[in-house]
Structure formats: C-alpha cells, structure tokens
Amino acid sequence: MQISNNKVVLLEYELKIPTGEVVDKADSNHPFAFIHGLGQTLPAFDEQLTGLKIGDTFAFQLSANDAYGQMNEADVVTIPKEIFGDLPEEELVVGAELPMQDGQGNHFYGIVQEVQEQFVIMDFNHPLVGQDLDFNGKIIEVRDATPEELAHGHAHGVGGHQH
C-alpha cells in the first residue's frame, strides 16, 4: 500500500538542521504516526512521502520557506509580567520555553527572550523558524485510516493516540 491521503503512516526518522545537530527523531520502538494529508505535518513533508510504501527509505531537505518559514517579528511579543502569576522566578528566565494560552483557549509555546521589571518579551515563532530541515528515515507501516481516526483527526494505536 502506498502513502496517500487518509492513510495512517508510521515511520522512523531523524531530523537535522544545517549545523548537523539532530533536533528530533523517532525510532521503530516509538515511531511517528500521523494521518497523511490532514495537515498534521508540514505540507512539503507530506509531498515528499506521497507514493512511498512499507520498507521504503527517504532522505530529503525542506527549505526554511517550505518548513516553518522565516522569522516574523510580529510573533515577538511584550507581555505584562503579572500574566505569569505564580510561576517561580527561577522558571521565568531567558531561553525558557513556556506553555501559554490565548483568549480563545488555543495552547502554544513561547520562548522567553528577555525578562524586564514589569514585562517579559516572548518569541512565539516556531523554534525551527528560518532553518532548512534535513529528514531521513524509513516507512514502517501504511494502512487505511479508520472512520474513527478520521473523525478524531489523528492515528490511534501503536505510535498514535490511544483512546
């Protein structure tokens, strides 16, 4: 079976940035599982995997523009320090990645850039923004997504979300 839309894909992979640093990986014991074509991965990542089947290997590079784009200064935000409430001072430090929530209940992470007396400057750009990404790996499993998986929007079972 070949990878196409609405197929559950399990794979092992390694992701490197141009410095050669491995920034993410999944192995056959803990594979990465997703439903192809549902927007769970970068569109260019999906494109590169389309047509592959179990046992196929892959190696490709995504340019920064096809990955997480370029730095957006509008995503660097000054937030009143009081928003952080009971967070201990030792956790509110430059470089800390903190979970946040907007007024609509959306969850995301920001990286502390600067801590001032009354404000905290946070960067909400993706941590890999501006980076070319090098992927290599192997396809472990390809199968049809179940109606339940499609309704939930994610893979279930090994490598996926359990219910």
107 and 137 share one domain:
no
For the chain, the domain total comes to: 2
Q: What CATH number should be reported for the domain holding residue 32?
A: 3.10.50.40
pLDDT, tens digit (0-9, with 9 covering 90-100), for 52-98: 999 999 999 999 999 999 999 999 999 999 999 888 888 999 999 99
Q: What is the pLDDT of residue 162?
A: 52
Distance in angstroms (rounded) separating the CA atoms of residues 17 and 31:
20
Question: What kind and span of H or E run contains 48?
Answer: helix 43-49
What are the angstrom distances between the C-alpha of 24 and each of 39, 50, 127, 134?
Answer: 19, 21, 12, 11
Q: What CATH number should be reported for the domain holding residue 115?
A: 2.40.10.330
63 and 138 share one domain:
yes
132 and 63 share one domain:
yes
Looking at this protein, which amino acid is placed at residue 64? Answer: A
Distance in angstroms (rounded) separating the CA atoms of residues 163 and 146:
14
The pLDDT-based confidence of 125 (bands split at 50, 70, 90) is very high
Q: What's the domain range around 82?
A: 73-123
Decide if 145 is inside a domain.
yes
135 and 57 share one domain:
yes
pLDDT, tens digit (0-9, with 9 covering 90-100), for 126-156: 999 999 999 999 999 999 999 999 999 889 8
pLDDT, tens digit (0-9, with 9 covering 90-100), for 6-61: 999 999 999 999 999 999 999 999 999 999 999 999 999 999 999 999 999 999 99
The pLDDT-based confidence of 103 (bands split at 50, 70, 90) is confident
87 and 134 share one domain:
no
115 and 137 share one domain:
no
Q: What is the pLDDT of residue 160?
A: 61
**23: which residues sit within 8 A by CB, 6+ positions away?**
15, 16, 17, 128
